[in-house]
Chains A and B, each alone.
Chain A
Amino acid sequence: MSVTQALPSSAVTPFVPLADPAPVTLRRVLSSEWVKLRSLRSSWITMGLAVAAMVMAGVVGGILTNQDWAHMRPGRRANFDPVGLSLAGLNFSQLAIGVLGVLFISGEYGTGMIRSTLAAAPRRLPVLWAKAILFGLVTLILMEISAFVAFLGGQAALGSHGTTMTAPGALRAIVGSGLYLTVVALLGIGLGFVIRSTAGGIAALFGVLLVLPGILSILPDSWQTNVGPYLPSNAGAALYDLHPDPGTLAPWTGFAVFVGYAVVALVAAAIILERRDA
């Protein structure tokens, strides 16, 4: 049998690899994630909705309230919160930002893109940090600007019933709205990595933010006073809500608790990303 044709390696032209390959760094993964974020239509639509909701709610709310002022009951007039009204769009914006945060990862798991991503960055954790840093930063910048525009637009629309940025707590509420939404973004990223599916991730995020307070409201009063303030959305709201319910945590304490939830989600994400097969 002379058919064997084992090719000795010495007969083969050795392949010359690239002389000075650029190693994968967090910076490079960040710029890769930036390409990914900006190259999906869903990012623009969802982020656009978040910005529009924040600004529009403030302005439209201001206009309507201004028109309605003469018919408002004295009690409502006395308790009127012009700051809170102009920032009410946050409640919608958090949905859009939370969804996009989850989708930023679950979209990769759903389509199989995650395999390409992790093959390019096999140390894995830089992918998590890059997504969190990038999406957190984008949210922070866009939502701080939106919050300021919403406040100024809202007060302008309220006319004589409005207030100014120098009013007590106003600045904290504005800046706090952007910070709150940034933490929602990070919570979405963390849950996206933990749960991996879009539907599951979104359900978990809104379960935590919106459904938990609802469930608590049917539980005994002692629960509501002891547990209520520590629920993620209640704790986070302490920062931007200038007329909180009694028992609510102090603004920055509440925010710290809210950040704690995001940290827990991101740490869980890191552990799972490291350990579980992609």
Chain B
Amino acid sequence: MIQARSLTKTYGDKTVVDGLEFDVRPGVVTGFLGPNGAGKSTTMRMILGLDRPTSGTVTVGGKRYADLPAPLHEVGALLEARSVHTGRSAFNHLLALAKTHAIPTSRVRAVIELVGLTEVARRRAGAFSLGMGQRLGIASALLGDPGTLILDEPVNGLDPDGILWIRHLLRNLAAEGRTVLVSSHLMSEMSLTADHLIVIGKGRLIADLPIAELLSSASRDTVLVRSPQADELQRLLSSSGVTTTSHEAGALEVLGRTAVEIGDLALANGIAIHELTPQRASLEEAFMELTNESVEYHGGLTIAETSVA
């Protein structure tokens, strides 16, 4: 269990994390989602005691990270940028970390095997591809067999095989009763991996809910109807208290009735229907809707929008 309370971090006059409150529970994969620059990495660094909160607290299992006597056995982390000396082999990197906790060399070999780096374990980490680097990061996170895992953008740089592997790994880790927090700026990835979502933007908590709930709350399921008698259909629907909107002549967007109900209603009243399409917002759209206000950097769509000084 990770608990953040009024967690705040400022750099000068810039507030990067702003009063975050959340619990990350064991047994499920919790996605930590937000646009780039939302404060995800800073929050994760504060969980690991690498950055000190300006105010507020964040604890793992009720303790500040720095107060854990054997942190690698409690929390395993994969941090954003590589956190490996490029001149050292994967084996020696993990061995150095293992020594701090008297973790046996056999465990080092086991995690190398687990992430599939056995053949390159003696090679300099600096020569690793991005994907191999990520695997090494995951090996170090798993080294102490911790009850809590914190992974910052773990699928970055992985090939499709690797991505699939990560998804299974995360699900299995959660199924074993571990607390799993995974950050991403990609909703689509989260929708495939996470059970629960914590969404932040500009350092503030935007949403903290099961992923299915986000779908149903943020995306209103509507039905698009095209009919030569659209006005008449709209009157009928409105009289029964259904909200409809019309963006163009002959087309209606209906909220609160299924396609079947609308079709039956039209038939009963002798109204011809040319199109009847259920509209379902994707998770991506739901996410965009949530974070729209809080995107740090909006990109212009045309070159002309940016002036050349």
**Contact surface of A with B, Cβ cutoff 8 Å:** 1, 3-7, 9, 11-18, 21-24, 28-29, 31-36, 39-42, 107-108, 111-116, 118-124, 277-278
- 23 sampled A-B residue pairs with Cβ under 8 A: A4-B213, A9-B27, A12-B28, A13-B176, A15-B147, A17-B147, A18-B145, A21-B69, A22-B70, A31-B99, A33-B96, A42-B87, A107-B85, A111-B84, A112-B82, A112-B84, A115-B45, A115-B83, A120-B71, A120-B101, A124-B66, A277-B45, A277-B52
A15 to B65, CA, bound (A): 19
Considering residues B50, B74, B100, B176, which has the most beta carbons from chain A within 10 angstroms of its beta carbon?
A: B100
A15 to B66, CA, bound (A): 22
A15 to B96, CA, bound (A): 26
Known: A22-B102, A115-B50, A277-B52. Contact between A35 and B27, CB under 8 A?
no
Interface residues of B in 29-63 (CB under 8 A from A): 45, 48-52
A274 to B65, CA, bound (A): 14
A39:B84 contact, CB within 8 angstroms: no
- B257 on interface, CB distance cutoff 8 Å: no
- CB within 8 A of B100: which of A32, A112, A124? A32
- CB within 8 A of B66: which of A11, A13, A31, A122? A122
- CB within 8 A of B50: which of A21, A39, A278? A278
A119:B85 contact, CB within 8 angstroms: no
- CB within 8 A of B96: which of A13, A36, A277? A36
B159 to chain A, nearest CB (A): 23
- The interface residues of chain A lying within 8 Å CB-to-CB of B72 are 119-120
Residue of B nearest to A22 (CB): B102
Interface size for B (C-beta < 8 A) is 58
- The interface residues of chain A lying within 8 Å CB-to-CB of B116 are none
- B88 on interface, CB distance cutoff 8 Å: yes
A158 to chain B, nearest CB (A): 41
Residue of B nearest to A32 (CB): B99
Residue of B nearest to A6 (CB): B210
- CB within 8 A of A116: which of B73, B140, B215? B140
- B81 on interface, CB distance cutoff 8 Å: yes
- The interface residues of chain A lying within 8 Å CB-to-CB of B79 are 112, 115-116, 119
B84:A4 contact, CB within 8 angstroms: no
Considering residues A40, A107, A111, A120, which has the most beta carbons from chain B within 10 angstroms of its beta carbon?
A: A120
What 7 A-B pairs come out closest when comparing CB atoms?
A12-B27, A15-B177, A39-B92, A21-B70, A32-B99, A23-B69, A22-B102
A124 to chain B, nearest CB (A): 8
B96:A32 contact, CB within 8 angstroms: yes
- B97 on interface, CB distance cutoff 8 Å: yes
A35:B99 contact, CB within 8 angstroms: yes
Interface residues of B in 235-284 (CB under 8 A from A): none
A29:B100 contact, CB within 8 angstroms: yes
